Structure 1
Amino acid sequence: MTIRIITDSAADYSAQEIARRQITCVPMTVSFGEEQLQDGEDLTKEEFFEKLLSEKDFPKTSQPSPTMFINCFEVAKAAQDIVIAILVSGELSGTVQSAMLAKEMVEYENIYIIDSKNATLGMRVLVDRAVFLREQGCDAKTIIEELEALRSRIRVYAGLDTLEYLYKGGRLSKGQAALGGLVNLKPVVAITQEGKVELCGKQIGMKHAFRQIANILEEDAPDVDYPVYFLYAYDKKNCVNFIQYLRKKGMDFGTPKLRGIGATIGSHIGTGAFGIVYVK
């Protein structure tokens, strides 16, 4: 009996990272008009943003179907393995519900579904911890308890370079987006403890967005026993400038761990966004 770790494509792992960790990744569906693509399988992060910039249709993401989880769970059941599924926030997607329905249909008790209450690199912190604990020989109960304790300590903050995709996604009116563009407004967003994306600041200019997140970092003092990730959406420029800003402020996290985000969050925040993920 082994432990199988499952996540979904909102965690933004590459195919190579998935193989290296020996995990299973269930893909979201990304739709551009009538075209439907499997996130991470038919569509890389780079290809997604290229389509975002060039396509007239605004993309939509949808959760994996219960059938996709059933296929994974049936294989685990046949092998009598334990499943730990670490999935995108239930506040952002119906993925958790799909997995719960699949568990009921498979009728196998050794399936544990964890709502990460997070997305993108915040999910990665939990998945990587689960992989590490599995490698250390920990049992499922120990892994689950540690993940549940760790979950509330994860912080994700991001600064947006454009308001265009908040407008296209229906989160801003055309007038709000136009006015924000005129004054060079840079929203700062966070993922809350409940797993929602929340606006936590409106800054004039990118340096003010850098400053707000840096001030939060100073107050939180990230736990150095866990990785600090820097996220970017397609274009690394703002992310690199943010890292340099932090270093000038005396906050140096060593060799930066830069990771690109994909379709699940990228469709809402657009290109040029930057951010940081850490454990408080």
Structure 2
Amino acid sequence: MTNKFGIMTDSGADFSLDYMKKHDLLLIRTRIMIEETEYIDRDTITREEIIDKMINDKAKTSTSVAPPIDFDQVIRAGLERYEKILYLGISAKMSATLQNAIMTAKRLKTENFIAVDTETVSWGQSLLIDHAIRRRDQGIPIETVIEEINEMKKSIQVHFMVETLEYLRRGGRIGAAKSLLGTLMGLKPHLVVKDGEITSAGTVKSYSEGMEKFRAIAELYSKEFGNYVIVIMYGLENPEIEAFAEEIRKQYKPLHFLYEPIGANIICHAGPYLFGLGIIKIPDSAVDAYI
């Protein structure tokens, strides 16, 4: 058993398997339903396979919480390797995953499991986890890391632009009439994570308009935050989005910059034709973790 604390998360976060293995990140895997077939996220299906089925097979997709046995196995395995586990979970308003993990820890009668609601998802959740890993690896106590995470999650901005309303309609998240009207008008939803939920922040008419809107968000919060990390995230790879990401990196010179794929949790609901921006303030006392 190591003196370091373990870090646990769920499929709300979008890390690669290589990253998780490198940092021994404990993972609760969402179940992915594609039509009538159930898969395990990042185990029996990849995000690329999900995207292929959505585009080429027009498959209806959904997600569900992992079964109780998964929580039991992951927490037990973590406590065998670490004295304590810090679980940074998907927003409790978006999923029952966090509550299920807390209930499992209570049933196991352990006081060495600490759960924090990140109140976000995707690369918003991932940025908080990456920060916790960096600070843990510096030898920072778990109590200090939790204080930083709780402060940082107040600042985080996570925005998505969805190319088409079709996948939201397929999943029953908007009506057919609204989907048709939006498609005819060429409108693309701008979604934002706010108060732990994904809500509408308006619409745009094109990728370029969405990019300029995201650039304005980066401009505003980079000035407000001082020290910050930026991520540009994508569904399908797109040269236009990649070029935009490089522009943002050069223009704002964040402490750390990422250009990363969006995971299954968002893609299953909003479709593969989307991209996003995340920006988070880094505490002055933690800047050295990014240098």
TM-score normalised by the chain length of structure 2? 0.88
2:131 is the alignment partner of 1:129:
yes
1:239 to 217, 241, 252: 241
Displacement after TM superposition at 1:72 (Å): 2.1
Measure the CA separation in 2 of the matches of 1:85 and 1:239.
32
Amino acid at match of 1:206: Y
Q: Which secondary structure state, in structure 2, belongs to the residue aligned with residue 108 of structure 1? A: coil
- Contact 1:239–1:275 (Cα < 8 Å) also in 2: no
- Contact 1:210–1:245 (Cα < 8 Å) also in 2: no
CA deviation profile, 1:180-210 (whole Å, cap 9, x unmatched): 1122111111111x21001101112222222
CA deviation profile, 1:132-191 (whole Å, cap 9, x unmatched): 111111222111111111111111111111111111122221121112112211111111
- Contact 1:157–1:275 (Cα < 8 Å) also in 2: yes
Measure the CA separation in 2 of the matches of 1:13 and 1:244.
20
- Contact 1:77–1:108 (Cα < 8 Å) also in 2: no
1:20 to 19, 22, 28: 22
What does residue range 225-236 of structure 1 map to in structure 2 within 5 Å? 225-236=227-238
- Contact 1:32–1:57 (Cα < 8 Å) also in 2: yes
- Contact 1:187–1:209 (Cα < 8 Å) also in 2: no
CA deviation profile, 1:99-137 (whole Å, cap 9, x unmatched): 011011100001001111111111111111111111111
Measure the CA separation in 1 of the matches of 2:94 and 2:42.
18
2:168 matched residue in structure 1 = 166
Amino acid at match of 2:103: L
Q: Which moved more, 1:65-74 or 1:138-147?
A: 65-74
Measure the CA separation in 2 of the matches of 1:261 and 1:80.
29
2:225 is the alignment partner of 1:221:
no
Structure 2: unaligned runs, 5 residues or longer: 282-291
What does residue range 175-214 of structure 1 map to in structure 2 within 5 Å? 175-192=177-194, 194-214=195-215
1:9 matched residue in structure 2 = 11
Displacement after TM superposition at 1:37 (Å): 0.7
What does residue range 31-110 of structure 1 map to in structure 2 within 5 Å? 31-78=33-80, 81-110=83-112
Q: What root-mean-square deviation, in Å, do the aligned CA atoms of Structure 1 and Structure 2 show?
A: 2.2
CA deviation profile, 1:227-269 (whole Å, cap 9, x unmatched): 3111000232442253367589x55659962111121111222
Measure the CA separation in 2 of the matches of 1:34 and 1:231.
29
1:258 matched residue in structure 2 = 259
* TM-aligned CA distance change 1:46 to 1:76, over 3 Å: closer
CA deviation profile, 1:54-97 (whole Å, cap 9, x unmatched): 33441110112232111122234455610101111111111011
2:277 is the alignment partner of 1:276:
yes
2:158 matched residue in structure 1 = 156
Amino acid at match of 1:166: L
Amino acid at match of 1:66: P
Amino acid at match of 1:108: T
* TM-aligned CA distance change 1:240 to 1:254, over 3 Å: farther
Q: Which moved more, 1:254-263 or 1:47-56?
A: 254-263
TM-score normalised by the chain length of structure 1? 0.91
Measure the CA separation in 2 of the matches of 1:79 and 1:210.
44
Measure the CA separation in 1 of the matches of 2:227 and 2:239.
27
Residue identity (%): 26
Amino acid at match of 1:196: E
Q: Which secondary structure state, in structure 2, belongs to the residue aligned with residue 11 of structure 1? A: coil
